[in-house]
Amino acid sequence: MKKEKEIKIFCSKDWSFDSAQNKTNYELLDTGKGEKLEKFGKYIFVRPYEDAVWPKTLSEKEWAKADGKFWSSKTGAKAGWTFFKNGSWGNSLNNRFLKWEMEYKDIKFLASPTPFRHLGFFPEQASHWDFIEKQIKNSGRKIKFLNLFGYTGVASFFALRAGAEVTHLDASKQTLNWAKENQKLNKFIQGQSLRVIEDDVLKFLEREEKRGNKYDAVIMDPPKFGRGPKGEIWKLEIMLPKLLLQVQKVLSDKPLFVILTSYAVDSSSLSLGYALEDIMHNFKGNVESGELCVLEKSNNRIIPLAHTAVWSIDMV
């Protein structure tokens, strides 16, 4: 009898306090009433979290200490950031120039408010960063790692540190420039095997198939909607099956792992898992589906922030 699918919690619990520098790199301080309160290094921000249908734990006084807030258009406000200064909310800080350094387990990267509510990295993906580094180190062989929709490069740097040969791809030139800035912060990975490519994901994978290039490990975080460097339109519900089929065609004979993550509200971890199982059916391995989560400081709750599915030959 086939075992029933279970939803796994992938929880990032290792955003630790840096006693040497007397700072905490990231904390989810509180959630409630459709929002989350987060500490990113020296700054505190309020961002939308529509799934928080419960009351806030911390007082309004604590929430009012935030340095900035991203307003969602769903609240009826004009979408975007406002920043706090001299006792009133307003555009007193220019987020285009507000950047500061953060780190996770000695990998450094820049944080900055973006027009899309993000700050240049996704804290809940730290559990995947740990998994990537451990799997590659434990493989005992040279791994070719492909980071699709690679964003600002944090996952790629963990793969590099583990000794992988990394290809990092994104359709946004601005985002890739950010990834290159982050690379400069991590001197120990300079000169290692890293390809940074600006391209449409599907077109790149089709060319890699024709070239006969193969990869042992793949991570992908496809957006709900987006445009490629030449205006190519991306819609997740239409393009995901095509994406997975092309990924299947560039996998090596002995793949190590494949990670798929989605922030689309109408996706589910089980559906991602079933899709991943389908393309990996020729390989001996296991798929685990679940929620990417972060531990909430105010009451020690595990807060889900994204859906994910992971295939690997040996889950760690």
How does pLDDT run across 174-219, given as a tens digit for each residue? 999 999 999 999 988 776 789 999 999 999 999 999 999 999 999 9
CB atoms within 10 A of CB 281: 9
Tell whether the model's pLDDT for residue 316 goes beyond 90: no
Q: Indicate whether 157 pLDDT > 90.
A: yes
Query: What is the predicted pLDDT for the residue at 310?
Result: 97
- Of the candidates 289, 228, 233, 285, the residue with the CA atom closest to the CA atom of residue 261: 289
To which CATH superfamily is domain 117-312 assigned? Answer: Vaccinia Virus protein VP39 (3.40.50.150)
Residue extents of the structural domains in the chain: 10-101, 117-312
Average predicted confidence (pLDDT) for the chain: 88
Judge residue 31's burial from the number of C-beta atoms within 10 Å of its C-beta, 0-12 exposed, 13-18 middle, 19 or more buried.
buried
* pTM (two decimals): 0.91
The two domains 10-101 and 117-312 share their CATH topology (first three levels equal): no
Tokens of 57: 């734990």
pLDDT value for 190 = 72
296 secondary structure, DSSP code = B
**Which amino acid does the sequence have at 185?**
L
**What is the rounded average pLDDT of the residues 144-169?**
96
For the record, the structure tokens of 199 come out as 């391209």
pLDDT of amino acid 98:
79
Enter the tokens of residue 99: 């950047």
Spatial neighbors of 102 by CB under 8 A, at least 6 apart, are: 25, 26, 40, 41, 108, 109, 110, 111, 121
Contact assessment for residue 63 and residue 56, using Cβ atoms and an 8 Å cutoff: yes
Contacts of 20 (CB under 8 A, 6+ apart): none
Task: Look at residue 76 and tell me whether its pLDDT is greater than 80.
Answer: no
Structure tokens at 44: 């505190």
The mean pLDDT of 51-75, rounded to a whole number, is 91
Q: Which CATH class is domain 10-101?
A: mainly beta
